[in-house]
Amino acid sequence: MADGTHDTKSSNQMWGGRFASGPDAIMEEINASIGFDKKLFAQDIRGSIAHATMLAHQGIIAQEDKTKIVEGLEAIQTEIESGNFEFSRRLEDIHMNVEARLAALIGPAAGRLHTARSRNDQVAVDFRLWVKEELQRTERALTGLIEAFLDRAEEHADTVMPGFTHMQTAQPVTFGHHCMAYVEMFGRDRQRVRHAIEHLDQNPLGAAALAGTGFPIDRHMTARALGFREPTRNSIDTVSDRDFALEFLAVAAIAATHLSRLAEEIVIWSTSQFGFIRLSDAFSTGSSIMPQKKNPDAAELVRAKTGRINGSLVALLTVMKGLPLAYSKDMQEDKEQVFDAAESLELAIAAMTGMMRDMTIRADRMKAAAGSGYSTATDLADWLVREAGLPFRDAHHVTGRAVALAESKGCELADLSLEELQAIHPDVKAGIFDVLTVEASVASRKSFGGTAPAQVREQIAWWRTAL
């Protein structure tokens, strides 16, 4: 107002209805993380118990205080798990919520728990523990998905289908071989998960705010108690590091991309135009107005989850890209991205595992399609090289002429007569018809890792041992 007095009403309108009390409400809203980091309660309590036990072992706090602290923390965990714990936004985060409740339960001894640590190394240990456990869950889920593919591959090692490049019919393959392609992809994802666990398997506790501590702590002791391989080796890096979260998101994004490619194939295969598979009602829905429709919604949603997971990776990369050492509050934005991506990935893997085990394979439709588009043309060219001694480029040219003739007659290569093929090249013999069927084509691909049923079964056996 003109006389210098404060107009509370106009100020509140300026801040907006949601923040009626002004800048204090805005600060509370932007600063509080308890709405999402309460997910870390078990890791926070586990880290605190390990820390208190180490402090007592080193003579930094009394055994009596350690006993009270541990019993209080265990009581708090029971309260949270039973839904009887009241989280407070005023206390900002999971650490302060647990510490305040501990003080209410055991009194002054609670104040000794935070000796020789900071919220900076505390959140680092909580988050590492959570990500490590999530990676272990992801590894188990990927193993289950791989096993589903191995079962379908074994069942359909001889089932012929068209192989595609550029989404055009290329050469015949088997459905088992196609399944094994995804086994390889998800196997690499599983390996990446294991590498990510190895990279993060260091204990942040003891780095304190950024410089370590003057108390005689034993960081190796807390590392063992929390299941870490060893303590981190630089206190500044320890509280600055979110590589482990970025690596989890990168692993998740690559795995989600593989899931999305598979989802796209399921969508295509389930169309009436392809008809290679049939999804059950458990993983599809009907149309609200078209009674004949059966929509592959589960596959489409798996495909869409990839966008969310990729977005989480880009978001956290962007948060971290300009941060100076050591800790900055920006890093509070790491958890929601990881939590969301983890939930999306878990759901996508579970849905895809269910679809692979549940879908009906229509081998007749696959076989019919496998012979279309002159898919055995390469076999014809290979025969000319192998049996007639032609250079491959010449054989390629002869085969092209044969395809053109078949197209003009509206028939397949195997339907051309011996005389017609000999008119294109005189060295063609009747034995060429032995390689122009799709069954003969796939059986001939015996090179290591090829589509021949015997090779497919060999790779299935290798993977079952590897798992």
**Contact of 441 with 450, CB cutoff 8 Å:** no
Between CA 258 and CA 138 the distance in angstroms is 14
CA distances to 159, 184, 270, 274, 291 from 266, rounded to whole Å, are 17, 18, 6, 10, 21
All residues at 6 or more sequence positions from 62 whose CB lies less than 8 Å from its CB, including other chains: 56
CA distance 117 to 213: 8
* Paired strand residues for 285: 295
Q: Is 97 within 8 Å of 119 (Cβ atoms)?
A: no
CA distances from 58 to 66, 69, 173, 399 (A): 11, 16, 65, 81
Q: Which two tokens stand for residue 28?
A: 């509370």
Rounded to a whole number, what is the largest CA-CA distance in the chain?
108
Distance separating alpha carbons of residues 383 and 451, to the nearest angstrom: 18
Q: Which residues, in sequence order, are CB contacts of 121 under 8 Å at separation 6+?
A: 204, 205, 206, 207, 208, 209, 235, 238, 239
Element (H, E) at 93: none
- Residues annotated as part of the active site: 166, 287
